[in-house]
Amino acid sequence: MASKNNTDIKSLVIRVCVGTGGLAAGSQEVIDEFTKLLKKKGVRAEVLKKCVNKTGCRGFCAKDVLADVIVDGISHTYQLLTAENVARIVEEHIVGGEPVEQWLVGPEYHAFHDKQTKILLHECGHIDPEDINAYTEIGGYNGARKALTMKPENIIAQIKDSGLRGRGGAGFPTGLKWEFCRNADSDQKYIICNADEGDPGAFMDRSIIEGNPHSVIEGMIISGYAIGASFGYIYIRAEYPLAIERLKIALSEARSNGFLGKGIFNSDFDFELKIKEGAGAFICGEETALIASIEGKRGMPRSKPPFPAHKGLLGKPTVINNVETLATLPSIMTKGAKWFSSIGTEKSKGTKVFALTGKIKNTGLIEVPMGISLKEIIYDIGGGMEKKNRTLKAVQTGGPSGGCIPAANIDMPVDYESLAAAGSMMGSGGMVVMDDLTCMVDMSKFFLTFTANESCGKCVPCRVGTKRMLEILTRITEGKGKSSDIDLLLELGKDIKLASLCGLGQSAPNPVLSTLHYFRDEYEAHINEGICPAGVCKSLRRYTVSDEACKMCGKCKTVCPSDAVTWEKKQKAVISKEKCIKCGACYEACPFNAIL
Partner 1 sequence: MSLKVDEIIGVVSSVLDETQKKRGTLIHAFQEIQKEQNYLPEEELVKLSKELDIPMSDVYSTATFYKQFYFTPRGRKIVKVCTGTACHVRGASKVMDALKNEFNVGDGETTEDLAMTLESVGCIGCCGLAPVATINEGIIGEIDSPKLSKMIEDIKED
CB of 237: closest distance to partner 1 in angstroms? 9
CB of 338: closest distance to partner 1 in angstroms? 35
Q: Is residue 198 at the binding interface for partner 1, with CB under 8 A as the rule?
A: yes
Q: Which stretch binds partner 1 (CB under 8 A): 137-145, 352-360, 405-413, 524-532?
A: 352-360
Q: Is residue 203 at the binding interface for partner 1, with CB under 8 A as the rule?
A: yes
Q: Is residue 66 at the binding interface for partner 1, with CB under 8 A as the rule?
A: no
CB of 238: closest distance to partner 1 in angstroms? 6
Q: Is residue 217 at the binding interface for partner 1, with CB under 8 A as the rule?
A: no
Q: Is residue 396 at the binding interface for partner 1, with CB under 8 A as the rule?
A: yes
Residue 293 phi, psi dihedral angles, 5° rounding: -65, -40
In the 8-state DSSP scheme, what is residue 360? B
- Pick the closer one to partner 1 by CB: 60 or 379: 60
Q: In whole angstroms, what separates CA 225 from the centre of its chain?
A: 29
Q: Which stretch binds partner 1 (CB under 8 A): 98-106, 122-130, 280-288, 495-503?
A: 280-288
Q: Is residue 450 at the binding interface for partner 1, with CB under 8 A as the rule?
A: yes
Q: Which stretch binds partner 1 (CB under 8 A): 124-132, 162-170, 201-209, 502-510?
A: 201-209
Q: Is residue 462 at the binding interface for partner 1, with CB under 8 A as the rule?
A: no
Q: In whole angstroms, what separates CA 258 from the centre of its chain?
A: 32
Q: Is residue 80 at the binding interface for partner 1, with CB under 8 A as the rule?
A: no
Q: Is residue 427 at the binding interface for partner 1, with CB under 8 A as the rule?
A: no
Q: Give the Cα separation of 26 and 66 in Å (integer).
A: 10
Q: Is residue 64 at the binding interface for partner 1, with CB under 8 A as the rule?
A: yes
Q: Give the Cα separation of 592 and 526 in Å (integer).
A: 25
Q: Which of 314, 460, 488, 498 binds partner 1 (CB under 8 A)?
A: 314
Q: Which stretch binds partner 1 (CB under 8 A): 42-50, 86-94, 409-417, 429-437?
A: 429-437
Q: Is residue 238 at the binding interface for partner 1, with CB under 8 A as the rule?
A: yes
Q: How many CA atoms lie within 13 A of 541 on its CB side?
A: 22
Q: Give the Cα separation of 544 and 122 in Å (integer).
A: 50
Taking Cα atoms as reference points, which of 13, 20, 101 lies closest to residue 49?
A: 13
Are the C-beta atoms of residues 585 and 554 closer than 8 Å to each other? no
Q: In whole angstroms, what separates CA 165 from the centre of its chain?
A: 18
Q: Give the Cα separation of 433 and 420 in Å (integer).
A: 18
CB of 272: closest distance to partner 1 in angstroms? 5
Taking Cα atoms as reference points, which of 249, 271, 240, 275 lies closest to residue 258?
A: 271
Q: In whole angstroms, what separates CA 359 from the centre of its chain?
A: 15
Residues 543-582 that bind partner 1 (CB under 8 A): none
CB of 200: closest distance to partner 1 in angstroms? 4
Q: Which stretch binds partner 1 (CB under 8 A): 91-99, 150-158, 231-239, 302-310?
A: 231-239
Q: Is residue 285 at the binding interface for partner 1, with CB under 8 A as the rule?
A: no
Q: Is residue 55 at the binding interface for partner 1, with CB under 8 A as the rule?
A: no
Q: Measuring CA to CA, how many Å separate 149 from each of 142, 190, 229, 263, 269?
A: 11, 21, 16, 13, 11
Q: Which of 12, 18, 21, 217 binds partner 1 (CB under 8 A)?
A: 21
Q: Which stretch binds partner 1 (CB under 8 A): 66-74, 328-336, 351-359, 407-415?
A: 351-359
Q: Which residues pair with 194 in a beta bridge?
A: 235, 322
Q: Which stretch binds partner 1 (CB under 8 A): 172-180, 200-208, 215-223, 526-534?
A: 200-208
Taking Cα atoms as reference points, which of 522, 474, 471, 519 lies closest to residue 492?
A: 471
Q: Which of 446, 506, 524, 582 binds partner 1 (CB under 8 A)?
A: 446
Q: Give the Cα separation of 292 and 257 in Å (integer).
A: 32
CB of 264: closest distance to partner 1 in angstroms? 13
Are the C-beta atoms of residues 396 and 94 closer than 8 Å to each other? no
- Pick the closer one to partner 1 by CB: 103 or 231: 231
CB of 487: closest distance to partner 1 in angstroms? 28
Q: Is residue 193 at the binding interface for partner 1, with CB under 8 A as the rule?
A: no
Are the C-beta atoms of residues 587 and 535 closer than 8 Å to each other? yes
Q: Which of 68, 123, 196, 199 binds partner 1 (CB under 8 A)?
A: 199
The residue count of the chain comes to 596
Q: Which of 211, 213, 350, 364 binds partner 1 (CB under 8 A)?
A: 364
Are the C-beta atoms of residues 165 and 419 closer than 8 Å to each other? no
Taking Cα atoms as reference points, which of 321, 317, 298, 513 lies closest to residue 422?
A: 513
Cis peptide before 306 (omega within 30 of 0): yes
CB of 469: closest distance to partner 1 in angstroms? 18
Taking Cα atoms as reference points, which of 299, 297, 304 lies closest to residue 284?
A: 299
Q: Which stretch binds partner 1 (CB under 8 A): 324-332, 358-366, 516-524, 546-554?
A: 358-366
Q: Is residue 358 at the binding interface for partner 1, with CB under 8 A as the rule?
A: yes
Taking Cα atoms as reference points, which of 518, 324, 490, 508 lies closest to residue 410?
A: 518
- Pick the closer one to partner 1 by CB: 180 or 446: 446
Q: Which of 61, 86, 217, 337 binds partner 1 (CB under 8 A)?
A: 61
Alpha carbon distance, N-terminus to C-terminus of the chain:
56
**Number of residues this chain uses to bind partner 1 (CB under 8 A):** 54
Cis peptide before 368 (omega within 30 of 0): no
Beta-strand pair 392-397/430-435: antiparallel
Q: Which residues here bind partner 1, judged by CB under 8 A? A: 20-21, 23-25, 61-62, 64, 188, 197-203, 206, 231, 238-241, 272, 274, 277-282, 293-300, 314, 355, 357-359, 363-364, 396, 399, 430, 432, 434, 438, 446, 450, 456
